[in-house]
Structure 1
Amino acid sequence: MSIPTKGAVLQWIADNPALTSKRDIAKAFGIKGAARIDLKRLLKELEEEGHLTKRKRSYEDPNRLPPVSILKPAGVDADGDLFLAPADWKGDGPEPRILYIPKDGDPDIGPADRLLVRLTEVEGEDHTHEGRLIRRIGTGPRRTIGVFRVGTEGGRLLPVDKGVDREWVIGAGDTGGARDGELVEAEVGRGRTRMGLPRAKIVTRLGDPGAAKAVSLIAIHQHGLRDAFPEEAVAEAEAAQPPTLGNRTDLRDLPLITIDPSDARDHDDACCAAPDDDPSNPGGHVLWVAIADVAAYVRPSSALDREARERGNSTYFPDRVVPMLPDALSGDLCSLHEGVERACIAVRIVIDAEGEKRSQAFHRGLMRSPAALHYEEVQAAIDGAPTERTAPHLGTLRALYAAYGALKEARTRRAPLDLDLPERKIALSDAGEVTSVAFKDRLDAHRLIEEFMILANVAAAEELERRRTPLLYRVHEEPPEDKLDSLRETAKASGFSLPKGQVMRPALLNGLLHAAAETDLSELISMSTLRAMTQAYYAPQNLGHFGLALRAYGHFTSPIRRYADLIVHRALITAHGWGDDGLSPWDLEHLEATAKAISEAERRSMVAERDTNDRYLAAFLADRIGAEVTGRISGVQSFGAFVRLDDTGADGLIPVRSLGAEFFRHDRDAQTLTGTDSGIEIGLGQRVTVRLAEAAPVTGGLVVELLGIEGEPLRRTARRPAKTGKVGFKKRNLRKAPRKRR
């Protein structure tokens, strides 16, 4: 019986990738008995020569993929198609390129997923295989941010997440050259040591965690924000050209001014107004809202588009911004700078004297803003103190405020949720150190722009519905009953009430907010109401906007920093037939997936921004350890109570272990902690005095020590001895704080 040549065996394996065991090969060549020993020797030689790879009981050509393989995502191409790659390629040739063919019901694929895929070889395409998902089998190594501490054999990774006390062991060969105390990024979940501690491997050194600029850097890496643009996307942005009039509507004579924060990094909206001269609309107004035409530069399925969709939105930190678009667009061609021609999509809206919208008309235009103003100088001009910058535009500003007066009346009738929470502003020095923390003033100039943008967003949604064009809605569903019950408990504990048994509308919540508005509990009730709300999100289905009391609402006004607005712009382009840069077939097919992806990106950015502010506040307060400050109980958990400090708005934790030796019973419904010996009750809304005990800038953690409640000093008690009476003072109801009226 002759043994086949090596070439014949290799050809068989190539032609029959599903029949690669030694038994299959022997059967194919009719090899039996003792001849199997010679076949085993031949296969061993092919393995040693690198022609074959032995996997369990089969042999495979290392340059060919088996029909069922473990793959990983390898990116999306210009057409929006997802490609896969082998999870562990060992071949000598080029890595196979696999086109993923999804089917209905397949899950969304994440960048770290590992997939079991059935493959089909193809020829004459830009890919070697097509793959269909069998199942998702897990993810790659998870990454985390921490501080590296050198040990005898490698070291430890200390977490930067608040409330996480886990450590990871770093092997001597896995330190990546990191120095003691450095901030690092590491892959975790790489097995455990003999002592049961998890292992990690350092993959990136990020520098000194105490450096001022490291604060936002931690959040960027911790939450997986994309802070570097691919070269292809940058090249597309830098190749963009200034707009020309062409078929656009000429809006260059309109006094479209921008009104933004004084430190605004981009200007994506401009507006103007004038009295309506139509006799049928006495006292009415004509409003124009012009928005940067980002769709003219970010074309569907381009590198810029893929990157913008991946980012979902811009993320703003006190010291930097992680933009959705490269600066060549966000800071230049798509920013409505003063005195330069810019492409825009504008809407002309007519309202009546009561602020009700009568009509709308959209235009793809070319504009030139005569002024870039900021909120404070606009408000000062209206209040009688114009400057050289604002004086020439007083006519436009007065017309804007007149239109805003009408819109305010319409808003009052609509009765949206009237939450007006103070916003913190963290000021930094040039070196990145926190110099001050203050609450921003809320001016009519802010509210004016807000009302104009809401009106434009409503107009966009209604226009697209009228033209039967798909879009992404901004959805805000009504709060769930369990959260409303929790809000009712908080209201009751604070001396207020929220009716039950009625259809929940924003007006009912406004009754609670207005009742608390003139008391010291105003911020607590506002924060509790906010916590009761559902998270707003994007969807291709119109489910209404509860908070704004609107039937249909879409985001149209910020395409520089929100991908949802770019989709709405493309929908308007398609609906009006303005060009070939509207909604692509891929956009339409993946509208649901896009909505989910950008909603998740938005939540990721919000958490990153909040964590960064917490770290800056902890750094600001680190020099004030030991100081006594006042605040209000803003949250109660079994492990302690949270205090919102008056001067900075920072949240500090009172650990229950710091309250003394007695046991504190947690009432989840009433949101209280009650001492079983002393009867002391800690509840939402109470005014407290605390001492700053710990501030950890790396994690953003802030720990405080409770000194007094409602003006009375805290009297800690020792554990009650057996068979003796209670010690401490008599139980009092400290939960119901007196209402103070101004």
Structure 2
Amino acid sequence: WGEARPGDGVVAEVTAGGGLGLAHARVVERLGPVGDPRTISLVSIAEHGIPMAFPPAALREAEAAGPAPLDGRDDLRGIPLVTIDGVDARDFDDAVWAVPDDDPRNPGGWRLLVAVADVAWYVRPGSALDRSAAERGNSVYFPDRVVPMLPEALSNGWCSLKPGEDRPCLAVWIRIDRDGAKRHHRFVRGLMRSAARLTYEQVQQAADGRPDAVTRPLRDAVIAPLYGAFRALLQARARRGTLDLDVPERQVVLGEDGRVAAIVPRPRLDSHRLIEEFMIAANVAAAEALEHKRAPAMYRIHDAPDPAKVEALREFLDSLGLRLARGQVIKPALFTRILDRAARTPYAAMVNELVLRTQAQAAYSPENIGHFGLALRRYCHFTSPIRRYADLLVHRSLIGAYGLGPDGLTPDQAAALAEIGAAISATERRAMAAERDAVDRYTAAHLADKVGTIFGARVSGVTRFGLFVRLDESGADGLMPIGTLPADFYRHEEHRHALVGQRWGRVYALGEPVQVRLVEAHPVTGSLLFHLVEGEASAAGPAPPRQASPVSAGREGARPRRPAGAGSKGAARTRPRGPSRRRRS
């Protein structure tokens, strides 16, 4: 057992079967006391096999890094580029600037500059750092820590665009017209010096007329032009007809002791959207530039929804009186119109949830099929090479295509892009699952002393064995087994996403508000168990009209974990960074 003690979380290897008795296991690693909040993320890291320690050779290469010279680079140090990130961010990999275009041929237009950390300068193809980054695929963000793709000497050091420090960058100049349409772009390798490290909240408050000491001198010269260009980019987004889903995210707020102080909805500010639009513009420019140069590219692809899922959604919408005619070409704007119509009905949350589940998952591939959710024909990830290997590959391809240095994409890497794309798509899914599980565990730990408390909630998933509910206050998800519902024989009407009582006619449908009592909270597994508070359910509320269905289910009291898709995040929405940066469009 080594240092492991009773009550510790451990990683164990099963060594032999125990016949009819218990199996035998050997403790491989001690994670820490189960009651210690620092153990929570370690459990998720171990469960999903996320590598934490870097190979010694990679650490040596990172420690040997130093400042990049100006030689052959554009000097961008006189431009007041700023980073805008979450309050707890340390890996600043993009900076932005905008100014009204003074070209008389582009009245009302804007010039944008997006500068991105030049990770390719420090992480050379085939190096130990490169092999380690490819294996990890991406950084993984937990409420209490980050498992970085690159050692901290780079991720929080030489690659991070810290204010007042010279940093190498790969930057793109973009010219847009007054309506946000791109007229020109140009990539350069440069040396920049960030004018300020700003947070989303700081920037938003400055834009709203409440600047602080840091943003006051930047408000008119830097922040106001950023918002002007942002408004133009929003017009272009609206014309494309993107899919804009309302997907609430939980933010775990930790106290100084590392324990959960609160679970709150993550705020969604215009400053978040501003950065997202600038990043999308730069990502599109990268994809178009590589395509124009006929260079290899690692595209960020997002397929159209599966026709069978669209048909299931159509049947459900018909039952709500929200007609989705057959034969229509499925475009993102079609779903947005559905959401707009549903917003004026009691079914808004329910329809939003189902539209989300209809979407495909985004991935990486050298074969371009476009990005459905963003309504773009070509799209790459370019703006986050500190934390995503895909972006580093795109940087290398741009460097090679434009002759910006000897450290471009190698022929071997170009030939292996399909294999690499599959691998980093898998590591991204692994990271998302680990992050989600950690938040679930922190949430369960936070609610463990609130067993017996009654909460307002909504039905977030319907299965034959019960209902999943999401608490209004914190967004926490848990199971309400069918055996705990008021006595009846419940039929699972899958196409309606509802449980229907055959005797008394009670209907529990997706999106329906309910009052629930927390009866169990398990921090180790992250699971929550609820019981319905009888008499408080809105069974006569916004449940869809009943229709006959051949699908049936009896009463069961099992407590399985939430099935995939019963509330998981989709990939069509551009996301905010979290805990400091989580853009997964």
Which residue of 257, 263, 279 maps to 2:104?
279
* Cα displacement (A) at 1:253: 0.8
Paired position in structure 2 for 1:702: 528
Instruction: Check if 1:422 corresponds to 2:248.
Output: yes
Partner of 2:552: none
Per the TM alignment, residue 709 of structure 1 is displaced from its structure 2 partner at its CA by 6.8
Question: 2:155 aligned with 1:330, yes or no?
Answer: yes
Instruction: Using the TM superposition, name which of 441-450 and 462-471 deviates more.
Output: 441-450
Amino acid at match of 1:282: P
1:210 and 1:698 in contact (8 A); partners too = no
Describe the superposition over 1:18-37 as per-residue Cα deviations: whole angstroms up to 9, x where unpaired. xxxxxxxxxxxxxxxxxxxx
1:609-655 Cα shifts (integer Å, max 9, x gaps): 00011111111111111111111111111111111110010112111
**Aligned partners of 2:263, 2:365: CA distance in 1, in Å?**
36
How far does residue 197 in structure 1 lie from its aligned partner after superposition? 5.8
Shift of 1:585: 2.3
TM-score by length of 1: 0.71
**Partner residue in 2 for 1:251:** 76
In the other structure, the counterpart of 1:563 is 389
* Counterpart for residue 340 of structure 1: 165
In structure 2, which of residues 267, 287, 304 is the aligned counterpart of residue 441 of structure 1? 267
Q: Give 1:560 deviation, angstroms.
A: 0.3
- Per the alignment, residue 596 of structure 1 pairs with 422
The 2-side partners of 1:446 and 1:734 are apart by 33
Aligned residue number for residue 63 of structure 2: 238
Determine if contact 1:470/1:588 at 8 Å carries over to the other structure. Answer: yes
Contact 1:338–1:371, Cα closer than 8 Å, also in 2 = yes
Describe the shift of the 1:581–1:191 C-alpha distance in structure 2 as closer, same or farther (beyond 3 A): same
Q: Hey, what does 1:212 align to over in structure 2?
A: 37
Residue 580 of structure 1 corresponds to 406
Distance 2:322 2:442 in 1: 35
Aligned-partner Cα distance in 2 for 1:464–1:354: 25
Matches of residues 100-179 of structure 1 in structure 2 within 5 Å? 178-179=4-5
After superposition, residues 192-207 of structure 1 pair within 5 angstroms as 192-195=17-20, 199-207=24-32
The yes-or-no answer on 1:480 pairing with 2:306 is: yes
**In structure 2, the residue corresponding to 1:484 is in which secondary structure?**
helix
Secondary structure of the structure 2 residue equivalent to 1:213? helix
Are 2:451 and 1:625 equivalent residues in the alignment?
A: yes
Aligned to 2:177: 352
**Mapped contact 2:82–2:196 kept (Cα < 8 A):** yes
SS of the residue aligned with 2:295? Answer: coil
- Cα distance in 1 for partners of 2:377, 2:299 equals 11
Q: Work out which of the residue numbers 584, 597, 614 in structure 1 matches 2:440.
A: 614
Residue 376 in 1 paired to residue 184 in 2? no
| Match among 207, 212, 217 for residue 392 of structure 1 | 217
Q: How many Å separate the matches in 2 of 1:341 and 1:405?
A: 30
CA separation of 1:679 and 1:228: change in aligned 2, threshold 3 A: same
Distance 2:142 2:344 in 1: 33
- Cα offset, 1:492, TM superposition: 4.3
- Which of the pair has the greater relative contact order for Cα pairs under 8 Å at 6+ separation? 2
Aligned 8 A contact 1:285 1:351 in 2: yes
Query: Are 1:551 and 2:377 matched, yes or no?
Result: yes
2:491 is the alignment partner of 1:665: yes
Contact 2:350-2:512 at 8 Å conserved across structures: no
Please, which moves more after superposition, 664-673 or 549-558?
664-673
1:685 paired residue number: 511
**8 Å contact 1:313–1:563 — kept in the other structure?**
yes
Per the TM alignment, residue 418 of structure 1 is displaced from its structure 2 partner at its CA by 1.2
1:469 lines up with 2:295 in the alignment: yes
Q: Specify whether residues 519 and 381 from structure 1 end up closer, same or farther in structure 2 by C-alpha distance, changes over 3 A only.
A: farther
In structure 1, list runs of 5 or more residues that go unmatched.
1-174, 715-731, 738-742
The verdict on how the C-alpha distance between 1:494 and 1:617 changes in structure 2, with shifts beyond 3 A counting, is farther
Take 2:525 and 2:400, find their aligned partners in 1: how far apart are those partners? Answer: 47
- Are the counterparts in 1 of residues 101 and 110 from structure 2 also a CA contact under 8 Å? yes
- What is the rounded CA distance, in whole Å, between the counterparts of 1:251 and 1:644 in structure 2? 48
Asked whether the 8 Å contact 1:487–1:529 carries over to 2, the reply is yes
Looking at structure 2, the residues matched to 305 and 486 of structure 1 have their Cα atoms a distance apart, in angstroms, of: 44
Task: Call closer, same or farther: CA 1:649–1:493 in 2, change over 3 Å.
Answer: farther
Do the aligned partners of residues 709 and 260 (structure 1) sit closer, same or farther apart at CA in structure 2, a change above 3 Å counting? farther
Give me the whole-angstrom Cα distance separating, in 2, the residues matched to 1:518 and 1:433: 40
Bigger radius of gyration:
1
Question: Sequence identity of aligned pairs in percent?
Answer: 53
Counterpart amino acid of 1:320? Answer: R
Secondary structure of residue in 1 paired with 2:495: coil
The one of 337, 340, 353 aligned to 1:527:
353
Residue segments in structure 2 that go unaligned for 5+ positions in a row: 546-585
Equivalent residue, structure 1, for 2:189: 364
Alpha-carbon offset, residue 201 of structure 1 = 3.4
Q: Deviations over 1:137-163 (max 9, x none)?
A: xxxxxxxxxxxxxxxxxxxxxxxxxxx
Q: C-alpha deviations, 1:139-188, integer Å up to 9, x for none? A: xxxxxxxxxxxxxxxxxxxxxxxxxxxxxxxxxxxx56743332111224
Q: Measure how far apart 1:398 and its partner are.
A: 1.1
- Partner Cα distance (1:472, 1:709) in 2: 55
Matched to 1:194, the amino acid is: G
C-alpha spacing 1:351/1:177, structure 2 compared with 1 (3 Å): closer
Deviation per residue, 1:431-468 (Å, 9 max, x gap): 21110111122211111111000000000000010011
**Distance in 2, Cα, partners of 1:598 & 1:627:** 42
Q: Which residue among 522, 543, 553 is the counterpart of 1:735?
A: 543
> Aligned pairs, how many?
544
Q: Does 1:403 align with 2:259?
A: no
1:410–1:177 Cα change, 3 Å:
closer
What SS class does the counterpart of residue 217 from structure 2 fall into? helix
- Contact 1:493 1:684 (C-alpha < 8 Å) held by counterparts: no
**Alignment partner of 2:154: what SS?**
helix
Q: Secondary structure at the match of 2:61?
A: helix
CA contact under 8 A between 2:65 and 2:122: conserved in structure 1?
A: yes
Task: Write the deviation string for residues 478-501 of structure 1: whole angstroms up to 9, x where unpaired.
Answer: 000122233334434555343332
Determine if contact 1:687/1:709 at 8 Å carries over to the other structure: no
**1:203: Cα distance to partner?**
2.1
2:87 paired residue number: 262
Is contact 1:642–1:654 with CA below 8 Å preserved after alignment?
yes
State the Cα deviation string for residues 357-400 of structure 1 (Å, max 9, x = none): 00100000000111111111111112112222111112111111
Distance 2:321 2:532 in 1: 24
C-alpha distance 258-526 of structure 1, shift in aligned 2 (>3 A): same
Contact 2:462 2:509 in 1 (8 A): yes
516, 525, 536: which one aligns with 2:342: 516
Deviation at 1:659, TM superposition (A): 2.2
Q: Distance in 2 between matches of 1:470 and 1:439?
A: 40
